[in-house]
Amino acid sequence: MRLSQFHLATVKEVPADAEITSHRLMLRAGMIRRLASGLYTWSPLGLRVMRKVEQIVREEMDRAGALEMLMPSIQPKELWEETGRWQKFGDQLLKITDRKQQEFCYGPTHEEVITDFARNELKSYRQLPIVFYQIQTKFRDEFRPRFGVMRAREFLMKDAYSFHLSQESLAETYAAMYQAYVRIFTRLGLTFRAVQADTGAIGGNASHEFQVIADAGEDAIAFSDGSDYAANLEKAEALAPTSQRPAPAIALQRVDTPAQKTIAEVSAFLKVSPQQCVKTLLVRGRDGLVALCLRGDHEINAVKAGKLAELPDESVLASEEEILAATGARPGFIGPVGLPDSIPVIVDRDAAVLADFVCGANVDGIHCTGANWDRDARVSRIADLRSVVDGDLSPDGNGVLHIARGIEVGHVFQLGRKYAEALDATVVDETGKPQVMTMGCYGIGVSRIVAAAIEQRHDDAGIIWPEAMAPWRVAVCVINPKNVPAVAAAGEALYQALSQRGIETVLDDRGLRAGGMFADIELIGIPHRVVVSERGLAAGTLEYRAREDSESRALSQEELFSLLH
RNA sequence: CGGGGUAUAGCUCAGUCUGGUAGAGCGUUGCGUUUGGGACGCAAAAGUCGGGGGUUCGAAUCCCUCUGCCCCGACCA
């Protein structure tokens, strides 16, 4: 490609509200332009990068035996009512009405459509297992679109769905897809981690997220430094402490804490560590209020709480009025000592081994010291309630956990029979009896990968693409070609020679001054740059610089070709 | 959904408090000088000041209303 024939649209200024690096750099490089909230136009430059990602995804899915197809982006309401998701998906589902007043949605995902396809197409167990996939635009009406294409409403996604007669078959395909994902993200040149994920309300058997490690990531992940263990923070188990609870050593006392409500305030005021305090959360259970007790330095894990039998899937904190009515005290002074018997007290494993701890006294302005379980406070049961923290032991017994930020770019999921059951997707088995199929689903956020790569690889000058994602591998920059015909000719010849060797090359023949040319090429992240100049021509060398290097070096044409081979 | 902010030239933003003929930088066009890290000079084009309503002799500026966009919050005791 000759840049003089291309629409390169770099800009110097970017809106103040473009907050994260990848969003700013994509705008500056002219890869995307915003059309409306969460909607972006991909320029020729941006699309070149997205197509690179798409192609690697496609090749690896094909290699893994998945079959590409294409489903409509618009889906009929009736199908979504069959699975109950027309209501359940909520406001993120963009609903549309056609001129006949028939209702549709713009697909946020395609379980309904593919399962409908499968129930019509698949009749016999002999056709299984089978994996279908598509690469297609999705729409989710996000509550808060932000960070450019990282959390856009419209985005490009690869979604795959597998169909099986047995759980064993699903497990095999799941493993194959997992391996395909490892290949994809490795080929893309990204630093990533496959982490165990919570299966959520769908309740499948296994799920992994593929997370690109980056500080701007929206997800927290926990990983062991002594093993392969890695899990989403929502899922990571906090091991039970090995120590036994000490015997009570001191008597229960009530002390005045007139204005100390938070753990930080109480522990500072009473000169005890937060680890020696118990914090109590009152939440609305399935049947009245429930108390959850944690060590003062720990945080509640909402997903773990949601799995308790006493609580709904999404627990909600009690209001100040409810708390006052139930305990006689305001938030900040609640504790397990002297709670009404009607409120179950569920205690985190770590809080349960404390003795002589500090907690709220259920009287405004008063806390207890020297409190002890059983002697002073009921324990209905002990559970894992908290999020793990840096330094916790790994649940698999090997190493210590660390916390990192990640960007979720892929998700593999053993779905089970939920959708096949709802849509009655069956095949006949060896005995001729109909069996509901078992399913898996496997997603990759193609457009998000582009942003995630920039988040992971950039410097002050701009983007640093991994070779596999770069819009071009090599840029040939010619200095002052208009005044020096020999330089123009040499640049053209080098461009032809590289192109003929199958090396994707862009020729910067715009005739810009050197500074402007270099700034653009660095901003758009081309991995290799070659400068053709009067100076180099006289010396008989080319000036080469890798995007990641800070110095140029002189190469002969042969050396350049072998380097780029 | 709750709270806050914002909307002015193609882009990024001043001007609004204190009403009085619409501004800058970047970009664009033309001419000239330049040509190895985002050059310089001269000239030029370019805005229903988000929409509607009101107050006023007079509104980008004050008031009401609608819309778009952005930020913060949704697990804190």
CATH number of the structural domain spanning residue A552: 3.40.50.800
Q: What is the pLDDT of residue A199?
A: 67
Tens of pLDDT along A237-247?
Answer: 899 898 889 99
Tens of pLDDT along A39-93?
Answer: 999 999 999 999 999 999 999 999 999 999 999 999 999 999 999 999 888 888 9
Q: Is residue A265 part of a domain?
A: yes
Tokens found for residue A112? 């309904």
Q: Is residue A432 part of a domain?
A: yes
Would you state the torsion angle of the CA atoms of residues A456, A458, A462, A464, taken in this order, to the nearest 10 degrees? -90
Using a pLDDT cut of 70, give the percent of chain A over it.
98
Q: Residue A167 maps to which CATH number? A: 3.30.930.10
Residues A203 and A164 in one domain: yes
Question: What range does the domain containing A537 cover?
Answer: 474-564
Q: Distance (Å) from CA A511 to C1' B33?
A: 17
Q: For residues A467 and A486, is the Cβ–Cβ distance under 8 A?
A: no
Mean pLDDT confidence for A460-473: 96
Q: Distance (Å) from CA A15 to C1' B61?
A: 24
Tens of pLDDT along A309-328?
Answer: 788 777 778 877 788 888 88
Residues A203 and A295 in one domain: no
Tens of pLDDT along A192-226?
Answer: 999 988 765 555 568 999 999 998 888 889 999 99
Interface pTM, i.e. ipTM: 0.91
Q: What is the pLDDT of residue A205?
A: 67
Strand B contact with A520 (CB < 7 A): yes
Q: For residues A338 and A361, is the Cβ–Cβ distance under 8 A?
A: yes
Q: Residue A267 maps to which CATH number? A: 3.90.960.10
Q: Is residue A14 part of a domain?
A: no
A336: confidence class by pLDDT, cuts 50, 70, 90: very high
Strand B contact with A16 (CB < 7 A): yes
Residues A340 and A444 in one domain: no
Structurally, how many domains does chain A consist of? 3
Mean pLDDT confidence for A380-389: 91
Q: How far apart (Å, rounded) are the C-alpha atoms in residues A211 and A264?
A: 33
Q: How far apart (Å, rounded) are the C-alpha atoms in residues A52 and A475?
A: 17
Residue showing tokens 């900040």: A332
Residues A50 and A181 in one domain: yes
Q: How far apart (Å, rounded) are the C-alpha atoms in residues A437 and A417?
A: 6
Residues A215 and A299 in one domain: no
Residues A190 and A277 in one domain: no
**How far is residue A409 from each of residues A149, A192, A193, measured CA to CA in Å?**
12, 9, 10
Q: What is the pLDDT of residue A560?
A: 97
Q: What is the pLDDT of residue A262?
A: 84
Mean pLDDT confidence for A336-353: 91
Mean pLDDT confidence for A328-352: 90
A430: confidence class by pLDDT, cuts 50, 70, 90: very high
Residues A313 and A360 in one domain: yes
Predicted confidence (pLDDT) at residue A6 exceeds the cutoff of 80: yes
Q: How far apart (Å, rounded) are the C-alpha atoms in residues A234 and A218?
A: 13
Q: What is the pLDDT of residue A265?
A: 85
Strand B contact with A541 (CB < 7 A): no
Residues making up chain A, counted from first to last: 565
Q: For residues A150 and A142, is the Cβ–Cβ distance under 8 A?
A: no
Q: Is residue A84 part of a domain?
A: no
Strand B contact with A518 (CB < 7 A): yes
Residues A492 and A445 in one domain: no
Residues A302 and A200 in one domain: no
Chain B: positions less than 7 Å from a protein CB are 1, 11-13, 25-26, 34-39, 68-77
Strand B contact with A146 (CB < 7 A): yes
Residues A64 and A185 in one domain: yes
Residues A407 and A491 in one domain: no
Mean pLDDT confidence for A445-474: 96
